[in-house]
Amino acid sequence: MAIMPRAKADRQEAERMATIEDMMKQLPPELQEEVRDFAQFLLERKARPKQKNLRLTWAGGLREFRDRFTALELQKKALEWWGD
């Protein structure tokens, strides 16, 4: 990837923005609002910290209960807890 002089990069960015603005002006107001909402969503998504990978350090931690409860019983109990 070639490195562009700063002025050229700024000019290309300005041209892209002008194109976006021109396209938005052609849209009806309700679609312009959708574009603004989507742009806001993208900005918020970019600002959020990345989620870390799920650690499975708990795997096997309930091994002692495997003979006392079925998977279905545990699922129902989890749904009860989440419903609170």
41-65: pLDDT as tens digits: 999 988 887 778 878 787 787 788 7
Asked whether residue 17 is assigned to any structural domain, the reply reads: yes
Find the domain containing 20 and state its range. Answer: 13-45
pLDDT at 3: 60
Count the domains in the chain.
Answer: 1
What is d(CA 59, CA 12) in angstroms, rounded to the nearest whole number? Answer: 52
The mean pLDDT of 30-39, rounded to a whole number, is: 94
Extract the tokens encoding 75. 């699922």
Extract the tokens encoding 7. 């002025």
Task: Give the predicted TM-score (pTM) of the model.
Answer: 0.41
Say yes or no to pLDDT of 5 above 80.
Answer: no
Asked whether residue 32 is assigned to any structural domain, the reply reads: yes
